[in-house]
Amino acid sequence: MSRVALVTGGTRGIGAAISVALKNAGYRVAANYAGNDEKANAFHDATGIAVFKWDVSDYAACGEGIAKIESEIGPVEVLVNNAGITRDAMFHKMTPQQWHEVINTNLTGLFNMTHQVWTGMRDRSFGRIVNISSINGQKGQMGQANYSAAKAGDLGFTKALAQEGAAKNITVNAICPGYIGTEMVLAVPEKVLNERIIPQIPVGRLGEPEEIARCVTFLASDDAGFITGSTLTANGGQFFV
Ligand code: NDP
């Protein structure tokens, strides 16, 4: 029987590309999303991938969602923590709500999800966790103190858990995408994209969601069993760690 992969925020943007790539690689895929039913249902109709709605910032909801997937599809062997949001503001204008929403989704969401598949992965002596961080967690980004802090936190989480999971054949890795052409980035005004963002990218273009999805498929595979605690940077040469 093929492995079960769960992708948070797996119904649009980078997550949708990841869900499809994993399905094409032979996994039984479950895609989680937060609330955009229209997008999620259209994604399900187009791909046949099962979709499940809950908020990753809600620990109890994560437990219920994972239990439903495990009873309907099977034990989660690959978890891709991809769901993420932005609530950008310069720090002097950032509200506590903007701070907490981003930390709760982009950082605490990883705890909420991973904690509830971890014991099963340990018991079965196999697991693959792939966390989608960001270039802005590596270098920081003005207007994104909340997002940069959460995404940097994701990298620390990845490295700590990699050490805990290694003896049980659980790998934990992170991917740091640069600017990828999804709704999150295409919401930036076109003038800013063309005059300020794309000129910073040496390859001269935005990345494609499928380019990140191929990184995930590799890290989830048996071929990547010796890679754990790593950060895979995919940003068109914009920033080197
Ligand atoms: P999108 O905004 O296109 O899609 C976000 C997805 O996450 C949607 O499926 C959304 O569900 C889901 N989601 C958001 N909040 C929650 C939540 N609380 N619980 C469950 N699901 C949630 O994002 P991208 O595809 O652009 O980004 C995906 C990941 O990649 C994010 O973690 C982002 O930070 C990271 N990233 C993106 C970059 C980019 O250039 N696009 C660059 C670097 C990192 P719904 O559809 O229901 O709203």
The count of domains in the chain is 1
pLDDT the model gives residue 188 = 87
pLDDT the model gives residue 183 = 87
Domain containing residue 150: CATH number: 3.40.50.720
Residue nearest to atom 8 of ligand 1 (CA): 9
pLDDT the model gives residue 61 = 98
The answer to whether residue 239 sits within a structural domain is: no
Using alpha carbons only, what angle is made at residue 85 by residues 151 and 39, rounded to the nearest 5 degrees? 135
pLDDT the model gives residue 15 = 98
Residue nearest to atom 2 of ligand 1 (CA): 184
Give the residue, out of 11, 47, 82, 147, with the most ligand 1 atoms within 8 A of its beta carbon, to mutate for a pocket test: 82
- As beta bridge partners, residue 80 has 7, 130
Mean of the per-residue pLDDT values of the chain: 97
pLDDT the model gives residue 1 = 79
The answer to whether residue 241 sits within a structural domain is: no
User: Cα(111)–Cα(51) distance, rounded to whole angstroms?
Assistant: 21
The answer to whether residue 62 sits within a structural domain is: yes
SS3 content of the chain, % helix, strand, coil (to 5): 55, 15, 30
Which atom from ligand 1 is nearest to the alpha carbon of 177? Answer: 43
The answer to whether residue 219 sits within a structural domain is: yes
pLDDT the model gives residue 224 = 98
Residue nearest to atom 9 of ligand 1 (CA): 9
Structural domain containing residue 118: 4-234
Give the residue ranges of the chain where pLDDT is below 70: none
- As beta bridge partners, residue 231 has 174
